[in-house]
Chains A and B, each alone.
Chain A
Amino acid sequence: MTWHESNLGAVRAYEPLRRLWARQSVRWRATRFAPLSALALAWLILLLISALLDSLLSSPDAISMDLRARLRPPLLFGGNWAHILGTDDLGQDILARLLLSVRTSLLVALVGSGLGALLGTTLGFIAAHFRGWIEESVQMLVDLQAAMPFTIIALALLAFFGNSFGLFLVIMGIYGWERYARLARSLALSALGQGYTLAVRSYGAGFLRLYGRHVLPNVAGPLIVNMILNFSEVILLESALSFLGLGVQPPLSSLGTMVGYGRTYVTTAWWIAVIPGVVIVLTVLSLSILGDRMQDRLNPANRSCR
């Protein structure tokens, strides 16, 4: 037996293994889920579940004041099991308030980014469809919006019209519309150059059918990514405005309100401000990680097989 043959035997014995490995690695690559995005997803799911099950997890009296148990530190910092995350200056359980606040913040962010996506995408499609002066004016609005810091606009609106939860939601909804509009316009323009949209127009389909059924499903990827990234920005904006006292008003509470409220105690009872702050950071970070990952996955250049 020559060296070659003996080697061949080894290769033959190895072959099924190699194939298995190849197949496994392909499968692994196809379904690979980076641990970081798994963690991010787990965190968001946890947040969502706790926001949804809020009413089950904590009874209304959980946020009742207990003046005998004021400023209790969290469990690992000298606290006890009665108040895992400690209490605030009125003796309210931080965990219970956190759950309520998460619900408000998520609701605001969800409605806000949903409204923004709807408004921006519609305007972008309209601009791409009608061209001419309509497009020009949409573009002008977009540029105007992009040139002004949104926090200032929001502050001005809230200060002028007075604070109401409805107005606050609308402001959150307007936030970021110009990016959707820009994106949707350019995506629609490229889709309108494709044969299928011409064909759809050639048999006289209307605006809704053309854009709802043909254009939108084909350009949804980048819009979804933008929505995820916008979602985290809305949470941040909401927190910022609430921190300044112009956002969500008591008795409602949001993550931003909690941070703002805890600010005065930050030297003596740091957990009141830090815990909701950590939740904000983790949530925004998770959303950004997932958004980036979606962007990579939806990019046709990175897509090996579909």
Chain B
Amino acid sequence: MTGDPPNRLLLAAEQVTRIYRVGARALPFTSPPHVSAVQNVTLMLHAGERLGIVGESGSGKSTLGRLLMGFDQPTHGRVLYCGRDIREFSRTERFGFHRAVQMVFQDTHGALNPRLRIFDQVIEPLDVHRLGTRQQRRNRVHDLLSKVGLPAAIAERYPAELSGGQRQRVVIARALALAPKILICDEPTSAADVSVQAQIVNLLDDLAQSERLTLVLVSHSLAVVRHLCTRVAVMHSGCIVEEAPAEVLFHEPLHPYTRALLGASPALARRRRRSTPVQSCTAISSPSGIGCAYASACPDVAELCRSAAPNLIELVPAHHVACHKVTTGRRSEKRIEEDHAGIGA
């Protein structure tokens, strides 16, 4: 597990689209109403990286997480693990994939089986994968519990007897049982109160370092993402609208949606920014399906935005953005620069 050189491409989504049917068709032979929860998303995850996926509710970030885990199949496009399509895995390859990629679920969604003791739940992945002897597995469970900062006595308890923070730790311990390379965390902190949130965030931070984890953090909390992640992708209506190293994104957001999102997040001891309220757009595809999904809420919308969807373009190295305004602006700047250079020469 430590054999991976850093920056090796581990997991990739290639032009992934996931369309859900919502409701029955109105008339026979017409196409039923549908929602593209994820639309043409391309995303790379390199070893050692910590990728944050942020967006409002309904932006498709959780669906993207599920697609990366293989819980859900993309309608178009594919998800690659180490260069192989995860749908084409053989049984043994799939087992290997399960060992390498684990998910931390939100505790409020019943992430622990209420009828099983903590010990039985944490040891189960080891049982399924038949790792080590019974005694080794037993020891491993106690190791894992202490790693996430839980006393060994908790192993004998049932989930209902634990606090929310403890349960979330158990969920993390279970996800770590198979020593995965990649940990996909779906809103790991959204249900916890602030102090527990901080504990969990710090725990994930420590674990990512000590276990050499590659982290994917799906969250609507910008603070958590800012604290944990090295790279951030912002999702809106199923599309990635901006993707950049965390520092860059939080200091120089380019996309108007990102700017609105950052402006809307509450912060203490910061100068009050001009905050435009974020107009919520659920992922229901516009009737025409053309144009930028943010066009109806964008403060600097142009004619082009309503007629053509912008592509995700790498403007500056490692900084991608999908906005006509920004790209055309930059292009024209660039052209001017080139012109100047031409004149100079």
| Chain A residues close to B by CB (< 8 Å) | 194-196, 198-206, 209, 213-214, 217-218, 306
Are B109 and A203 within 8 A (Cβ)?
no
Give chain A residues whose Cβ lies under 8 Å from the Cβ of B71.
198, 201-202
A177 CB to nearest chain B CB (Å) = 25
Within 8 A of A (CB), among B55-86: 69, 71
Please report the total number of B residues contacting A with Cβ < 8 Å: 30
Given A202-B103, A203-B102, A204-B95, are A196 and B128 also a contact pair (CB < 8 Å)? Answer: no
Query: Is B112's beta carbon under 8 Å from chain A?
Result: yes
B residues less than 8 Å from A213 (CB atoms): 116
CA distance A195 to B105 in the complex (A): 6
Contacts of A195 in B (CB 8 A): 105-107, 109-112, 171
| B169 at interface, CB cutoff 8 A | no
Q: Are A203 and B115 in contact (CB under 8 A)?
A: no
Does the CB pair B98–A194 fall under 8 Å?
A: no
B window 153-181: CB within 8 A of A: 160, 171, 174-175, 177-178
Are B105 and A204 in contact, CB atoms less than 8 angstroms apart?
no
Contacting residues, chain B, for A205 (C-beta < 8 A): 124, 128
Identify 24 residue pairs between A and B in the complex whose beta-carbon atoms are under 8 Å apart, listed by A's number. A194-B109, A194-B110, A194-B111, A195-B107, A195-B112, A195-B171, A196-B111, A196-B112, A196-B113, A199-B103, A199-B171, A199-B175, A200-B124, A202-B102, A203-B98, A203-B125, A203-B177, A203-B178, A204-B95, A204-B128, A205-B128, A217-B116, A218-B115, A306-B160
Report B-chain residues with C-beta under 8 Å of the C-beta of A202: 69, 71, 98, 102-103
- Assuming the contacts A204-B94, A204-B95, A204-B98, asked whether A199 and B129 have C-beta atoms less than 8 A apart, the reply is no
**Given A195-B105, A199-B103, 9 more pairs with CB closer than 8 A:** A194-B111, A195-B110, A196-B113, A199-B175, A201-B71, A203-B177, A205-B128, A217-B116, A218-B114
A186 and B111 alpha carbons, distance in the complex (Å): 19
Q: How far is the CA of A306 from the CA of B160 in the complex (A)?
A: 10
Q: Determine the chain B residues whose CB is within 8 A of the CB of A306 once the complex forms.
A: 160
Measured in the bound complex, the distance between the Cα atoms of B178 and A200 in whole Å is 13
Q: Name the residue on B nearest A214 (C-beta).
A: B113
Residues of B within 8 A of A199 (CB): 103, 105, 111, 171, 174-175
User: Which residue from chain B places its CB closest to the CB of A194 in the assembled complex?
Assistant: B110
List 8 A-B pairs, minimum CB-CB distance, nearest first: A195-B111, A194-B110, A204-B98, A195-B105, A203-B125, A195-B109, A196-B113, A217-B115
B166 smallest CB distance to A (angstroms): 16
What 1/0 flags go to B171-201 for Cβ under 8 Å of A?
Answer: 1001101100000000000000000000000
Look across to chain A and name the residue whose beta carbon is closest to the beta carbon of B113: A196
Give the residue name and chain of the A residue nearest to B98 (CB).
Answer: A204
Residues in A neighbouring B98, C-beta threshold 8 A? 202-204
**Contacting residues of chain B (102-157) with chain A, CB-CB under 8 angstroms:** 102-103, 105-107, 109-116, 121, 124-125, 128-129
Which chain A positions have C-beta within 8 A of B124?
A: 200, 203, 205
- A203 in contact with B129 (CB, 8 Å): yes
A206 to B95: give the CA distance in the assembly, Å: 11
Min distance, Cβ A293 to any Cβ of chain B, angstroms: 22
CB distance from B300 to the nearest CB of A (A): 41
A204 touches B129 (CB 8 A): yes
Separation of A199 and B103 alpha carbons in the complex (Å): 7
For A216, give the chain B residue with the smallest CB separation.
Answer: B115
Chain B residues whose C-beta falls within 8 Å of the C-beta of A203 in the assembled complex: 98-99, 102, 124-125, 128-129, 177-178
List the A residue with the shortest CB-CB distance to B71: A198
Identify the closest chain B residue to A195 (Cβ): B111
Q: How far is the CA of A196 from the CA of B128 in the complex (A)?
A: 15
Q: Mark B186-230, 1 if CB is under 8 A from A, else 0.
A: 000000000000000000000000000000000000000000000
